[in-house]
Amino acid sequence: MKNIALTLASLWLALAHAPQAMAQASCSSDGTPRPVAVFERFISADCESCWGDAAAPAPSAKAGAVVLDWIVPGKAGDDAPLSAAASTDALPRLQTLGRKPPISTDVYVTQVGLAARGRLRVAHGVAFNDYVGTGIAFTPSPAAPQRTATATPLAFYLLLVEAIPAGTDGTVVPRYIVRNQFEGAWPLAQRPARSKGKPWAWMETRSMRIPDGAQADRLHLVGWVQDASGSIVAAAQSVCR
């Protein structure tokens, strides 16, 4: 298992320095519109009718938001109708947002800051033995606040998301199930080394497990960076071309 993770991380690092290879071997946020909001739907695993609700809350097509569906573990545990897709990551996410686990569906929308704080990039490779190599990188804008010794780290979130087309798997609307999550922080008081002639950027690579039941060809990444106040300063999602 550890060897698989190291292999995927090594492949990511190699591709990160070879743009042409990256274009052929992975999916990324390159050239995609920057999201202006993160639209999160929290669905109780106990509520089967919520999954098939034709009136499920959704942003307008012009909203420029990324949509996430969190299946929250229910009171029925493994016997809940949606337990197979439930994510334990949903509970700490709700806690972070100051929300309680829903009985049916709850929605939370976070706007992405309009100020040019930097550029976020996410990318992933092909699935291999139930794992996929992923990466997230943030390049601050030259106009962004300068680092200080007491600066609060930037938190980053990287989510592996499965897109479920409308009319399949019991849903009449498109769904975007969060299948896995990786989070961390970048210290503003420190800046990583950079190659000559290239802007410096924080970067993390990680192999992420594809849970049982998820279809690898439906997966993409959603990532964002937020400051100490919880405000999202940059967001991105990958597209496979």
Task: Read off the pLDDT of residues 118-128 as tens digits, 9 standing for 90 and up.
Answer: 899 999 999 99
Give the model's confidence band at 51: pLDDT under 50 very low, under 70 low, under 90 confident, else very high: very high
The pLDDT value given to residue 18: 40
Q: In this structure, are residues 219 and 225 in contact, taking their beta carbons and an 8 Å threshold? A: no
Q: Please identify which residue in the block is written with the tokens 């990786």.
A: 182
Residues 154 and 226: their CA atoms lie apart, in Å, by: 6
* Portion of the chain with pLDDT greater than 90, in percent: 68
Q: With CA atoms as reference, report the closest residue to 110 among 224, 31, 238.
A: 224
The pLDDT value given to residue 190: 65
Q: In this structure, are residues 175 and 105 in contact, taking their beta carbons and an 8 Å threshold? A: no
Q: How many CA atoms lie within 13 A of 107 on its CB side?
A: 10
Give the model's confidence band at 81: pLDDT under 50 very low, under 70 low, under 90 confident, else very high: very high
Tokens standing for residue 10: 């090594």
* Among the ranges given (25-29, 56-60, 152-156), the one the predictor scored with the smallest mean pLDDT: 25-29
Greatest mean pLDDT among 84-88, 186-190, 194-198: 84-88
pTM: 0.85
Q: Please identify which residue in the block is written with the tokens 């991105």.
A: 236
Q: Please write the tens of the pLDDT for every residue from 8-21.
A: 444 444 444 344 43
Tokens standing for residue 44: 């109780």
If you average pLDDT over every residue of the chain, what do you get?
A: 85
Asked whether residue 212 carries a pLDDT value surpassing 60, the answer given is yes
The pLDDT value given to residue 32: 92
The pLDDT value given to residue 31: 92
Give the model's confidence band at 7: pLDDT under 50 very low, under 70 low, under 90 confident, else very high: very low
Tokens standing for residue 15: 């591709």
